Amino acid sequence: MASPALKTTHPGCAQSIVCDGNEAAAWAVALSRPDLVAVYPITPQSSLVEYVSQFIADGKIQAELMNVEGEHSVLSALHGAALAGGRTYTATCGPGLAFMFEPYWRTPGMRLPIVASLVTRDGITPQCVWGGQQDAMTMKETGWIQIYCETVQEVLDTTIMAYRIAEHHDVMLPVNICHDGNYLSYGVTQVDVPEQAAVDDYLGEKDVNWHVALDPLRPMAVDPLTGGAGGIGPSKFVAYRKSLCDGMQNALGVIEQAHQDWADIFGREFAPLVEEYRLDDADYALVTIGSMTGAAKDAVDSAREKGEKVGLIKIKTFRPFPIEAMTRALSKVRAVGVVDRSVHYGWNCGPLYQEVLSCLYRTGKTISARPFIGGLAGADLTEAHFAKAIQATATMWADETTIDSPIWLNEND
Amino acid sequence: MHGPPPEQLLKAKDYKSDVKPIWCAGCGHFAVLSAITKALAHLSLPPEQVALVSGIGCSSRLPAYTHVYGFHGIHGRALPIATGLKVARPDLTVLVTGGDGDGFSIGGNHFMHACRRNLDLTYIVMDNEVYGMTKGQASPTTDPGWEQSRLTPHGTGLPSFNPAAIALAAGAGFIARGFSGDPTSLTDLLIQGIQYPGFSFIHVLSPCVTYHPEQKAWKKTVHEQSQSTTADPVVAAQRIQQSDRMATGLIFKAISQVQQQQHPSKNISLEQISRQFVTHT
């Protein structure tokens, strides 16, 4: 059952409802008018696809629902539908995403504008059904656009924006909207649901297989054999790769425009790439991603009340990586503590930390940095954890040192 | 490692771990767990010579509740894991457990190939016609008109999968159907399946009282098969297709051609195994 409506509050808003992040995502899917949704249930995604299914059963969405035998088939089914010109959607996470991997890493190369929610879940082993971003972060080199949400409202709004971004002709890439398992999937709050007509205007006409299609009227070789061994030589393969990289870079501007247009129509602004919070006069800052940011901002506010000049940098778009926006933000401080909700094996830190290091080089300044890892396997990241991170970062700032060994925030929880 | 010496008669409780199952009260899987431990006790198989491999799902939690070697594997992949184990250690008795979603949906491909590979595995599928752990979605054995799932509110509309028919078509030599509500007969089928020198498939009707409360009526609708076991696949095929899928018993038992390779470690003693885990200072 979808949640009951509250009174309408904002322009472009059809109604306000109280719901969790999984239901919010389902509302976004409904408003985006997909043609095909394929699903396989997995914790903590299951209720999301159940909401979508109910919307289809109720006639709210004119779409086909395929309840298939596994995630490998889920994404393969979407490939077929996207090549036939359909707008498509699925959601998965964790082991389901891992099982989806073979069609998953083909999707960007075929330039299929599929939108998939990742209700992020930590990676096994050991066995765990709880939230964490290890699943999404493991996929960061595959060519999907990755956008991480902080709030339930942002999940709803960004999931609609994802179609605008994915289907932009300068992009034509699949998009993952990532929302933290447990915290956003089941966290309940009031959200505004946009009007259908306004969303229709925002997304515009669907045109998703102009470039590659399974269409008898436009016969073409989809995904041709390249390289040697009977193919047409390395140049074609390089052309595909370069084109995909170009699409990724084009996406930065498209993501910004999609957010700007959203704000103009619906009155809700979200930093599209990197958000700066109390940063302009800060000596040092935390860097965060996803739903942890709320508690981190509270910790920043508390520290500010004690006279600490601390700010916060939140990344929303992780792929493509917003190098300029992140470099600009980092340039404002002299020390950063980067909090990851996953592990970057081989660098003994989190993946966000490793990417921040690359941007620090571009600032041309000496900025101290330290990795923090927390929130694994559904562990709470509370204001107290961030207070600890702020304190450790303040010490680095005072000492002008960089310490590469991570602080594991939930080590003793 | 402590426990009774091998020559002492083992009891069913010797195969149970001290981990309390987290299944719902009334779940059919409790009786399947009990039947498995009784079958192992009847065969007096030393716990350290038995391995239990599972996939993902409610029923796949079973290895944790036993005192034999266990591995809680990947969704749908219990059979490949067990195949690798059996090839490497043919001396072990390898049981494989899981549910209808794990075995027939995401792992359906492996089910067919395990049947045709015919290694000496015993595959026990607890079929409740639902994905229980993700809270009640339709599986391949769900009735097409079942409308209680939030994922398929108007039913799947798809014909349900007939596991015994697939097993037969794929070449399984031992096909039986048991019922958790008749643990004595189920234990007997498990004993026969473990003793069978090839791939044995035991399809267990095991009600989910949470998402399929109507399956409580299986107590009345499940019945023993009227004919005796056949070794003729054509006869078996006809019976499987004509059956209401509620008939229990050993449906088909072929003369197995399996050649079981013997591993030199077959007669290794518990003391010898224990010594492998002792740190010498």
pLDDT tens string A278-297: 999 999 999 999 999 999 99
Burial B171-183 (b: 16+ CB within 10 A, else e): bbbbbbbbbbbbb
Domain limits, chain A: 5-203, 274-408
Domain limits, chain B: 24-275
- DSSP annotation of A344: B
Question: What pLDDT is attached to residue B1?
Answer: 45
SS3 (DSSP) at B68: coil
DSSP H or E run through B122: strand B121-127
A39 touches chain B (CB under 8 A): yes
SS3 (DSSP) at B95: strand
Q: What are the mean pLDDT values of chain B's consecutive 10-residue runs (281 residues total)?
A: 60 96 97 98 96 97 96 96 96 98 97 96 98 96 95 94 97 97 98 96 98 97 96 97 95 78 61 68 49
Residues A247-265 have pLDDT tens digits of 999 999 999 999 999 999 9
Strand partners, B96: B53, B123
A76 touches chain B (CB under 8 A): no
- DSSP annotation of A233: B
Task: Give pTM, 2 decimals.
Answer: 0.92
Say yes or no: do domains A5-203 and A274-408 share a fold. Answer: yes
Residue A38 C-alpha, separation from nearest chain B C-alpha, in angstroms:
11
B152 touches chain A (CB under 8 A): yes
CATH architecture of the domain with range B24-275: 3-Layer(aba) Sandwich (3.40)
Examine the pLDDT at A211 and tell me if it is beyond 80: yes
Split at pLDDT 50, 70, 90, the class of A4 is low
The answer to whether B67 and B16 are in contact (CB under 8 A) is yes
Examine the pLDDT at A318 and tell me if it is beyond 60: yes
Examine the pLDDT at A89 and tell me if it is beyond 80: yes
DSSP H or E run through A396: helix A383-399
Nearest by Cα to B122 from B166, B78, B89: B78
Which ranges of A223-334 does DSSP label H, i.e. alpha helix?
234-266, 293-305, 323-330
Inter-chain touch A41–B137, beta carbons under 8 Å:
yes
Average model confidence (pLDDT) across chain A: 95
B150 touches chain A (CB under 8 A): yes
Which sign does the torsion angle of CA B6, B9, B13, B15 carry?
positive
Options 3.40.50.920, 3.30.390.30, 3.40.47.10, 3.40.50.720; which CATH number does A274-408 get? 3.40.50.920
Cis amide linkage into residue A90, ω under 30° from 0:
no
SS3 (DSSP) at A115: strand
SS3 (DSSP) at B16: strand
Split at pLDDT 50, 70, 90, the class of A205 is very high
Q: Phi/psi at B125 (nearest 5 deg)?
A: -105, 120
B156 touches chain A (CB under 8 A): yes
Inter-chain touch A95–B56, beta carbons under 8 Å:
yes
- DSSP annotation of A227: B
Options 2.130.10.10, 3.30.110.30, 3.10.20.30, 3.40.50.970; which CATH number does A5-203 get? 3.40.50.970
Q: Which of B106, B134, B154 sits opposite A69 (nearest CB)?
A: B106
Provide mean pLDDT across the span A94-114: 97
Split at pLDDT 50, 70, 90, the class of A227 is confident
Nearest by Cα to A91 from A119, A133, A70, A53: A119
For residue B140, what is the nearest residue in chain A, using CA coordinates? A69
**The residue to which tokens 């981990």 are assigned:** B19
